[in-house]
Amino acid sequence: MEYPIKRVNNDKSLRCLIENYQITILNPCRRGKKLLVLDIDHTLSDHTTSEDPMRPYLHEFLSVTYAKYDIIIWSASSGRSFTTCKPLHLIWAKFPEFYDPRNTIMVDDMEKNFKMNPQNGLTIKAFWKHNYANDEELCKLAQYLLAISELDDLSSLDHKCWEKYLTKSA
């Protein structure tokens, strides 16, 4: 059953979405870990090219962040009908003993995907294959995520200024 997010504008619709949405779990949730929700298209890869579409440093980024964060890959173009935003309440409701607004951060190249949870969103520069040689966005992002991983409440941070935080802490 598919629910276009445009219809999820009240608690009843969101509850229905939560009850019916299926999440495929590849690794079990780890108690005490924060949650990192990642987009695919132009965040982790350039889907417009078939020639090595992965963003530079992707494997290193995932390895480093997995030490502190459980990772969910959630793409708006994954065949689901989430084309307007990604409601994190869905994850929090499915795994309340592990995740909540305080320990969750979502990374995407499109700010509109944080519409329902702006305090948990972090926007990075979109990745395009033609910028491959100069792209170090995931290296910088990994530094930021590791720097904030011990904080109690990630939702209290202004993630719009994440790059400025790196220069302050350097």
- Residue 89 — left, alpha, or beta (φ > 0 → left; ψ -120 to 50 → alpha)? alpha
Model pTM above 0.85: no
Average pLDDT of the chain is 85
Residue 114's alpha-carbon distances to 18, 40, 148, in angstroms, are: 17, 15, 19
pLDDT tens-digit series, residues 18-32 = 676 677 788 999 999
Runs of H (alpha helix) within the chain: 11-20, 58-66, 89-94, 137-148, 162-169
Position with higher pLDDT, 11 vs 103: 103
Backbone angles phi, psi at 44, to 5 degrees: -105, -20
